Structure 1
C-alpha cells in the first residue's frame, strides 16, 4: 500500500499536511530498533550469566533460581518496552530506527506524543506481535487507512514522515544575522516540558519577530525585543530581568533556531 497524505487541523485551528509512513518504512525502522535491543538483551544475559556462574554459560539459566530468572525476564521486558517509550517521548516521537528512516510518531491532532500515549502504543506491542512475528500489527498497518496498528488505535497516534524544511540557496537576512552573531541552538538549554508548551501562536510570534528584526531601527529593535522577551521567555522558564537588550535579542534568536526545526515546515 502506498504512503498517503493526511490533513490534520490542530486544536489551534492550524491545518497541517503529513505523509503517512507505510508498512515498508515502519518495518525497516522496527528491524533496526530490534537489532539494537538484541545486542542489549544479549549483553544483559551475558552479564547475568557471569554474575551467576562466574562463567559465560547460558545453560546455567536452566538451573537458576526461579525468582532470579523471573526478575531477569521482567527486567528485559521493561528494558525492551521502556526503550520505545523513553526514546519516543524524549526524542520527538523518534526511536533510533525511526530517526534513521526519517519517520516519527505523533498524536492524531498533530501534537507531539505525551508520555501516556507513548506508553500505551508501546505497551500494546505485545498484542500487535500476536500470534507470532508481529503478524497482527503488520496486517493492520497494511490494511488500515491510516496505517495504524492496535497500539496506534488505542493511543490515538499515527506515524508520519518527517516534513522537510524549505531549502534556500541564499541566506535570509535573519540567517545572516544569526551567522554573524555566531549563535547556535547549543547556546541555550530549554527544558522538554517548556518546548512542549509552545503552540502555533508562540511560533508565529518568534518567527515574525525574527523576520522583522533586521528591518527595524535600533530603537524599534530594542523595543520589540523587550516586548517579545516579556511574552515568550517566562513561558519557557527563562528569566528576563537582569539581562541586557542584546542578551535578550540573542536569546530570542536562539529560541527561533530551536523552534524552527519543529515548526518551520513546508506544507
Structure 2
C-alpha cells in the first residue's frame, strides 16, 4: 500500500494524478526529521547544562535556575512542533526528511498546503502519536485508502510522491529562447502569498502560452502576451503599465520557470 494512485480533480477542473506516499516512505522521512530534531535538542540541552553550571559556579544563584530551564522547555516545545508546521508551509509541503525521500504534503484539491491546514495536521500529531510511538497514525496510514493519518483527514491534506520531470536530452525551443534571453528564476521576486494564489490552472495557462508564443507572428504575440499579462499580473501584484512587450514576455517566461518547479511532476 506504499504507492496508491490518487486522481484529483481541482476546482479549476484540471485532472491531476499522484502516487500517495505510504507507510514506508513516510516513516523514513519521519525518522530523518526526528534525527535532525534529536540532534538540535541535544545541543540545546547541553547548552543549558553548560549555562547552569557556569551560573552556579560564578554566582551561586541556584534558586533562580528554574527560569532558564522553563525557557528551554518552551523553546524545545516550539522547535519540535514548529519544525513540521513551518517547513511544510514555507517549503512547499516538504520537511527536510520529506525532501530527502521525495514526498510532499498537498491539499486534497491539488493546491499547495495552506497555513491553516499545516497548523491543523501538525497540531493533531498529538492524537496520531497515541497511545505511544505514533500507533494510531501508523494504523491509519496503513489501512486508509489514501494513506492518511488523523491529521490529514481533518486538515484535508494528502502526502504524495514527487519526482521532477526528467530533462530531455534535446533542448526545446522554449528552453533555448529562455537561455538566449538570459532569464533565471531569480530575476522575478514574487511574494509568498501571491505565489500561492497560482495553482494548476495558472500553470497550464503559462505553459501553453510559453510553448505557443514563439510560433506566432509578431502581432499575434503582442496580443496574446497582453491578454496573459492582464490575467496573471494582478494575481501576483505586478504592474503591466510602463513595460515593453519584450519585458512582459520575459516576466511570463520567468513565471513559467517558477511554476514549473512547483507543478511539473513525473508521476
Write the deviation string for residues 188-237 of structure 1: whole angstroms up to 9, x where unpaired.
11111111111333223322221111112233323332332232112111
1:69 and 1:257 map into 2 onto residues whose CA distance is: 47
For normalisation by structure 1, the TM-score amounts to 0.90
Deviates more, 1:249-258 or 1:192-201: 192-201
Q: How far does residue 56 in structure 1 lie from its aligned partner after superposition?
A: 12
Note the 1:107-122 alignment, pairs <5 A: 107-122=107-122
* Equivalent position of 1:201 in the other structure: 201
Does the CA-based 8 Å contact 2:2-2:25 persist in structure 1? no
Note the 1:1-267 alignment, pairs <5 A: 1-54=1-54, 65-165=65-165, 167-266=167-266
1:64 and 1:108 map into 2 onto residues whose CA distance is: 50
Alpha-carbon spacing, 1:65–1:92, altered in 2? closer, same or farther (3 Å):
same
2:28 and 2:200 map into 1 onto residues whose CA distance is: 32
1:212 and 1:134 map into 2 onto residues whose CA distance is: 50
Alpha-carbon spacing, 1:64–1:110, altered in 2? closer, same or farther (3 Å):
farther
Alpha-carbon spacing, 1:20–1:200, altered in 2? closer, same or farther (3 Å):
closer
Q: How far does residue 166 in structure 1 lie from its aligned partner after superposition?
A: 5.6
* Alignment root-mean-square deviation, CA: 2.3
Does the CA-based 8 Å contact 2:162-2:266 persist in structure 1? no
Q: How far does residue 14 in structure 1 lie from its aligned partner after superposition?
A: 1.5
Write the deviation string for residues 153-205 of structure 1: whole angstroms up to 9, x where unpaired.
22121111014426423222111111111211111111111111113332233
For normalisation by structure 2, the TM-score amounts to 0.90
2:222 and 2:84 map into 1 onto residues whose CA distance is: 45
Q: How far does residue 266 in structure 1 lie from its aligned partner after superposition?
A: 5.0
Consecutive unaligned residues in structure 2, runs of 5 or more? none
Does the CA-based 8 Å contact 1:49-1:56 persist in structure 2? no
Does the CA-based 8 Å contact 1:85-1:119 persist in structure 2? yes
Alpha-carbon spacing, 1:56–1:11, altered in 2? closer, same or farther (3 Å):
farther
Q: How far does residue 109 in structure 1 lie from its aligned partner after superposition?
A: 1.7
3-state SS of 2:111 partner: coil
2:212 and 2:105 map into 1 onto residues whose CA distance is: 34
Q: How far does residue 108 in structure 1 lie from its aligned partner after superposition?
A: 1.5
Does the CA-based 8 Å contact 1:174-1:213 persist in structure 2? no
Does the CA-based 8 Å contact 2:2-2:20 persist in structure 1? no
Consecutive unaligned residues in structure 1, runs of 5 or more? none
3-state SS of 1:54 partner: helix
Q: How many residues are aligned here?
A: 263
1:56 and 1:135 map into 2 onto residues whose CA distance is: 42
